[in-house]
Each structure stands twice: as structure tokens, then as C-alpha cells.
Structure 1
Amino acid sequence: MHSETLTLLSTTSAHLLAGLFAFTYVGSIYASKGARLRFSKRKVNLPEGQARLKLQNERWRDDPDVIKARLLAVSSATLICCLIVFIVMKNFNRDDEFHNLTANAWLHLGFTWSNALPLVITPLLFVGPLYVQFLEKSLPFQEDWDFEDDVLFRFFSIVGLRNYFVAPITEEIVFRACVLTVYHLAGASRKKMIFLSPLVFGAAHVHHAFETYHRYGRTATAAKRAIISTIIQFAYTSVFGFYCCYLFLRSGSLLPPITAHMFCNIMGIPRPSYEISLMPHRKLSISTAYLLGIIGFAFMLKPWSYTDGSLYWQRN
């Protein structure tokens, strides 16, 4: 069955569809007036690294009404992308019954359960930061952990809903499930899907340069900062995309990349040097925890990520 579906699309068609998914997702936040940002056109000279204050008539990305409009926009865009995948598969499987076609599309998109092991790979990588939180007594149910602040306010505020739920779920559906499905239908190798398709995900974040340029004063320095930050963001989102693609293909499920995305958003970028500077007497134990996490991740990534029966990893 799988070998018959490998070349339903040409490589060019897969590229065009992947670009269409990215355009639909990113474009959705500019299609609605309520979701678009608004900045003053005034130039402001600021000290290096300092952002300006928000003006009254401006609309920034963390404004509650902007977030609400964008959540609706990207959710709608995600549904459209899934519908496009369904239509593509329908065109090449005209004889399939609707039920079978839907089940096949759902399987390709990774809407299946995963076993538990792929879900704990990412927390394993973060053993160091988790150990630091343990030392700070800020892990759940420790002394400095507060349910109202650390759960209700953080996760269920409008910003929390965006950062920890809607963004990870919709981005993984579009940039992992939909993009990898069309490349799979075009017969792309696993290596190409892992290392090339995430570039679409990285490129989809380039539009943040517009906001950075305006927030830092619309000067040459602001433009330089926007370019540098965009290059850095493109790099780490692409690397993260490599990882999530690997999880998706190995497990055949969206759950591992979605949970990995959520967990990374919660934890943020590890800062071992800063953490050690705050607790120099714990330097050895913190360094050891970071090292153990990295080693454990490297050794367990392959065996823990695989789910028996994965559509993508058994096709050859």
C-alpha cells in the first residue's frame, strides 16, 4: 500500500503545497484587520538593546485583542491546510469510500495515539534546567510553587493559551503533519523530510523581523537587530523542526512533536551559565545534571522515539 502512494505528487507539487501551507498560516494573521499589528512610523533613537515603550494607538502582538484575533486566524488556517491535504488525497483516491479516505488522511496527518516513551524524550534533555528548578523549589508542589500564579495565570491567560496550547498545536499540525504528508506522497526520503521540510517552519518566522524593527525604533540599529534576531530565530526554529520531524516520522503520531513543542515553550532556552552564576556552590551538580540530560537524550532518542507500526518509518 505504502509504495503505491509514494509518488502521487511530484516534488514540485509538494514544494508548492508546503509553501501554500506556510502562506496560509502566516498570511491568516495579516488577512484580518483585528490580527494585524500597528506601529508608529516615528523613528526613535534608543540605547543599544533597549526597546521603546508602546504608544497608545499602537497594536502589539501581546495585546489581548490581537492575540484573540490571531488565535482565531491560525486555527482557521490550520483547518484549511488539513482540508487541502484531504482534497489532495481525495483526488488521487477517487475510488475510496469517504470513511476509508478520512481514516487514511487522519493516519497520514498523525492523528493517532503514541506510546509514552516518545513523550518523555524532551523532558530528559531538560534534566539540567529541571534540576535547577528543583534547587529553587519552584517545581510543582514545592515551597515556591503557587497553583494560581504558576498554573491558572500562566497557562490559562490569553498569552498562556497562545504560547502553550494554540501555537504549538496548530504549528505542528501545519508545519509537521501537513507538510510531511505531501512530501511523503511525493516520495521524499526520510532524510529530506527531516532536514529540508523544517526550513519552511523556520522561514514562517521571518515575519517577526517587522515587529522587532518597529519596537526598537525604526533606525539602522533596529534594522540590524531585526536581521540578526531573525537569522538566529530561523536557525533555532529549523533545528527544532529537525527534531520534531524526526519524532513525527519515527512515532507516526503528532502527540510527540506537540508535547515537545509545548514543553520547550514552557521551559524556554536553557541558561546554564546564568544559573550557575546564581548558585556557584552548585556548579558541579548543575553541570552534571545538564551533562546527564544531554547524554541521556542522545542515547535514548532513537530507541524511545520509535512506535511500532509508524506509517512513515516502515514504508521502505
Structure 2
Amino acid sequence: MDETCIRTANFSCFILASVYVGSLYVWKSNEDRNHPKTVIRRFISAFCMLFVAPMIVWVTLNYMNHKESVDLLTLLGLRWSGLLSAISLPVILTCVLFLGPITSSFFDGSWKDLFSADCWKNNLNDILWIRNQIVAPISEEFTFRACMLPQLLKCYSNSQAVLVSPLFFGVGHFHHMVERWRQGMPLVQSLFLSCFQFAYTTLFGMYAAFLFIRTGHVAAPCVAHAFCNVMGFPDFGDIGRQKGWKRTVLASAFVIGLVGWYFLLWPLTEPILYDNNP
């Protein structure tokens, strides 16, 4: 591998991650991250990143490629061809992975919220829901996947890029540790939670990077990200809280979901399904 290429791509990705996180803190405020004023200001930052991040990518790729032309929109996964598959198949695949939590939602009746007009109305009026399910998935996947991977893939193989890119994503979440500490949480506890968050965001980042590379669409990791945010981290403890046949069914659902996801991962992300010609 070209060491200069690797250093350039890694440095550019570091700049992207730093600018993304830094844009959230340019606003002077004493409110916490969930205060409506803070959320709206960070929405503005996220919107600005949709323009700033591609500029960084364009400069870096032109530096790497010199006189070669750069089809930036295609590299960023912004294209119409294969879009319908990109917003449907990754959701189906991720649903299989979350078969356990989905089964649990049938047991407690929460699945009905999906078909409740009042629930959707409340969600769309909830600024935190909009942040978690719409703004965060779009802005984070655009910056950490669509803008980083085209640079990393110039220097790394696909498998290497899948392993490297999530590290920027995981580290990019460590700023939450400072926020928790400022709100009064003990430093050790805040650090532990951030390390746990780093672990699962890095794992998800690998999955999201894989989806982006295989589909050639930024929409694919966006919808998977949004779905995961809706479901939350799987509550494995719910298996122990169930009784009788429900416990057996729920435990089986977790296992079947993981195994099914493993076997469907490659077939449902076949590039031809997304008109992706890497």
C-alpha cells in the first residue's frame, strides 16, 4: 500500500471527524444536549456539514488523483439507480438481525405503535425523535461513511476499509463522555459508558461501511442506522424476564435472527441488486 496515500486519507478522515464533532460545540450554551435550543443549533451544524464534508473530500481526492476526474456524487453514494433497493433491502436485513427485539415487541404489544397515527404524530412533534431517527442517521452516515470511505478505498482494500473507517466513528462519540461528566456523572462511570458506546458504535460502523461499499448508496447505511436507533441496543435480559414458552421463543428468535442475518448478509447486499458497479 502507498504510505503517502494512507497518511493522506487517514488525515482527511481525522479532519472530517474533528470538524463534525467540533461543529456541535461552536455554539455557546449552558443547556445540555437534549435541550431544544441545543438540538436546533446542532441541526444547523449537521446541515452545514452536508456541504463542508464534500468539499474536504473533493480537495483530498483531487490531491490523490491529481489530473483524474472525480465523479463526486457517485462516490458519495448519491445516485438514483438502485435507490429503491438501497432503502428497502438493508432494512429487511437489519430486521432479521433484530428478530429477538422484534419478537419481544409482539409480547409486550409495543409493535402496535408502528401502526398508530397518534404515535407517529407525537414522534414528528418530538425534536429528540427527529434528531435520533432522522438527523443523526443522515448526518453521521453522510460524514462517516459517504465522505470517508471513498478516500479510504483509494488506499485500503474493501475489508480493510470496513475495519478502519468505524474507528473514526467510534472515537467521534467520545465527546458524550465530557457531556455526561459536566452533568454530574462520575468520571469513571462516564468513561465506562463511553467505552461501551465506542464498542457497539464501532461494530455498527463496520456493518454500515459494509452496506455502503456493497450497495454504493449512502441511503443503505442511513436506513439501517435509523432502524437501529428505533430499536435501541438489544435487551438480552428480557429473555430471563419471560416465562415458559415465551422465554424459549424469545431466546430462539435472538439466535435465529443472528444466524439468519449472517447467511443473508452477502445475498441481500449483492451489488447487482443496487446497480452498483465498483
* Alpha-carbon RMSD: 2.3
Question: Aligned ranges for residues 139-178 of structure 1 at < 5 Å?
Answer: 139-140=111-112, 146-148=116-118, 150-178=119-147
Larger radius of gyration, structure 1 or 2? 1
Query: 2:174: which partner in 1?
Result: 206
Number of the residue aligned with 1:138: 110
Instruction: Tell me if 1:310 matches 2:237.
Output: no
Once residues 206 and 67 of structure 1 are traced to their aligned partners in structure 2, the CA distance between those partners, rounded to angstroms, is 18
Q: How does 1:1-316 map to 2 (within 5 A)?
A: 10-33=5-28, 36=29, 38=30, 59-90=31-62, 92=65, 94=67, 96=69, 101=70, 104-112=71-79, 113-114=82-83, 115=85, 116-140=88-112, 146-148=116-118, 150-185=119-154, 187-217=155-185, 222-308=186-272, 309-312=275-278
Flag structure 1 segments of 5+ consecutive residues without an equivalent.
1-5, 39-58
Instruction: Give the deviation of 1:138 after TM superposition.
Output: 2.3
Unaligned runs of 5+ in 2: none
Contact 1:203 1:234 in 2 (8 A): yes
**What TM-score comes out, normalization by structure 1 length?**
0.79
Distance 1:95 1:251 in 2: 24
What letter is aligned with 2:78? F
Q: Which moved more, 1:154-163 or 1:82-91?
A: 82-91
Secondary structure of 1:213's counterpart equals helix
User: Residues 89 and 105 of structure 1 are in contact (CA less than 8 Å); yes or no, is this contact kept in structure 2?
Assistant: no
The 1:78/1:286 distance shift into structure 2, 3 A limit, reads same
User: Residues 26 and 204 of structure 1 are in contact (CA less than 8 Å); yes or no, is this contact kept in structure 2?
Assistant: yes
Give me the whole-angstrom Cα distance separating, in 1, the residues matched to 2:54 and 2:247.
48
> Aligned partners of 1:87 and 1:67: how far apart in 2?
30
One-letter amino acid of the structure 1 residue matched with residue 130 of structure 2? L
Counterpart of 1:216 in 2: which secondary structure? coil
Deviation at 1:127, TM superposition (A): 1.2
Report the AA paired with residue 310 of structure 1.
N
CA deviation digits over 1:244-286, x for unaligned, max 9? 1111111111122111100000000111322541555511111
Q: Distance in 2 between matches of 1:18 and 1:265?
A: 24
Conservation of the 8 A alpha-carbon contact between 2:9 and 2:60: no
Superposed displacement of residue 135, structure 1: 2.2
Aligned to 2:33, the other structure's residue is in SS state coil
Comparing 16-25 with 82-91, greater Cα deviation is found at: 82-91
CA contact (8 A) 2:61 2:151 kept: no
What per-residue deviation string (whole Å, max 9, x for no partner) do you get for residues 56-93 of structure 1? xxx11110010000111122123200122233345546
Partners of 2:202 and 2:141 in 1: CA distance: 13
Tell me the distance in 1 between the aligned counterparts of 2:146 and 2:158: 14
Contact map agreement 2:137 2:225 (CA 8 A) in 1:
yes
2: CA distance between counterparts of 1:70 and 1:291? 38
Contact 1:118 1:251 in 2 (8 A): no
Structure 1 vs Structure 2: percent identity of aligned residues?
Answer: 28
Contact preservation (8 Å) 1:183, 1:193? yes
Matched residues in 2 for 1:159 and 1:136: separation?
24
CA contact (8 A) 2:144 2:169 kept: yes
